[in-house]
């Protein structure tokens, strides 16, 4: 049974490119705190992405100038772009929620790109990673809705009142479908990209032999595009859900 499980696990991972952990000599199937090292890989990669973002932020803001230059100028361009992107959705609340929404976007897009770096993997090709991100967004906008509206936030679960017994379970199902759709959409697209890249890398020497431009280069360019789109969609929907949770606060 153990050998069958090992064979099955190896087959499932056969289309994955190796990570730097595969060259450390560690047993990828050895369990640490109940999980194999291979199962810890998305967590390790997520930590590295977060560490990289923190390092870049600290480096870019170490010497703030009124007239930005270099990395500070680039960072301000990114922040301004994100502000303009979500301002039409959140309006006057943009300044309050920009740190959260902006962090979500930068974290996701960098995790999507991370797998394009040799010996690295995209953490977002794991459903656990994307589901964790979606649940953070889910908790965030529900918390803000309750903070602003109080118990009135739950009023929409029972509307229209005459159909409350029917509409309540429908609203609840719809509410939990939001994080599920966010997680599955991001996971599915990134997993497909990574599997395609791995397959093309494996087949390149058998199909075309030694060539200066590998066949998977086109897919890398497409992956950059689709990774950006998926991060944008995730951020856009997160902003919309947040806006819907607090919108009644704007009633006059």
Per residue in 61-100, pLDDT (tens digit) is 888 877 777 888 888 899 999 999 999 899 899 999 999 9
Going by pLDDT thresholds of 50, 70 and 90, the confidence category of residue 10 is: very low
| Lookup result for tokens 């944008």 | 232
Question: Which sequence spans correspond to the domains of the chain?
Answer: 2-250
Predicted pLDDT at 157: 83
**What percent of the chain shows pLDDT beyond 90?**
38
For residue 193, the SS3 value is: helix
Inter-helix orientation angle 127-149/94-114, to 10°: 180
- Of 17, 9, 8, the residue nearest 204 (C-alpha): 17
% of the chain with per-residue pLDDT over 70:
85
Residue 131 has pLDDT above 50, yes or no: yes
Query: Which residues are CB-contacts of 202 (< 8 A; sequence separation ≥ 6)?
Result: 15
Q: Which residues pair with 31 in a beta bridge?
A: 36
pLDDT tens, residue by residue, 169-197: 888 898 999 999 999 999 988 887 777 77
Q: What are phi and psi of 160, to 5 degrees?
A: -70, 150
More confident residue, 59 or 30: 59
pLDDT of residue 49 exceeding 70, the answer is: yes
The whole-angstrom separation of Cα 150 and Cα 4 is 54
Average pLDDT (122-142) is 93
pTM of the model: 0.82
3-state secondary structure of 99: helix
Q: List, for residues 196-239, the tens digit of each pLDDT value.
A: 777 776 776 666 665 555 556 777 788 888 889 999 999 999 99
pLDDT score of 33 more than 90: no
Rounded mean pLDDT, 55-63: 88
């Amino acid at each position: 049974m153990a050998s069958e499980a090992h064979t099955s696990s190896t087959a499932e991972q056969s289309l994955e490119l190796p990570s730097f952990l595969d060259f450390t000599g560690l047993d990828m199937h050895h369990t640490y705190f109940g999980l194999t090292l291979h199962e810890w890989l998305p967590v390790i990669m997520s930590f590295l992405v977060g560490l990289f973002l923190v390092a870049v932020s600290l480096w870019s803001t170490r010497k703030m100038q009124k007239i930005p230059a270099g990395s500070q100028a680039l960072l301000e361009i990114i922040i301004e772009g994100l502000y303009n992107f979500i301002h039409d959705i959140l309006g006057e609340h943009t300044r309050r929620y920009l740190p959260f929404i902006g962090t979500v976007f930068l974290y996701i897009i960098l995790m999507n790109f991370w797998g394009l770096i040799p010996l690295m993997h995209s953490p977002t090709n794991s459903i656990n990673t994307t589901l964790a991100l979606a649940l953070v967004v889910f908790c965030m906008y529900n918390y803000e809705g309750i903070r602003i509206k109080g118990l009135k936030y739950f009023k929409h679960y029972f509307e229209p009142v005459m159909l409350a017994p029917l509409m309540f379970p429908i609203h609840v199902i719809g509410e939990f479908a939001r994080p599920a759709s966010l997680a599955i959409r991001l996971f599915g697209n990134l997993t497909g990209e990574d599997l395609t890249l791995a397959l093309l890398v494996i087949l390149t020497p058998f199909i075309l032999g030694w060539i200066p431009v590998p066949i998977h280069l086109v897919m890398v360019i497409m992956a950059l595009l689709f990774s950006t789109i998926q991060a944008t969609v995730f951020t856009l929907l997160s902003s919309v859900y947040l806006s819907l949770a607090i919108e009644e606060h704007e009633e006059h």
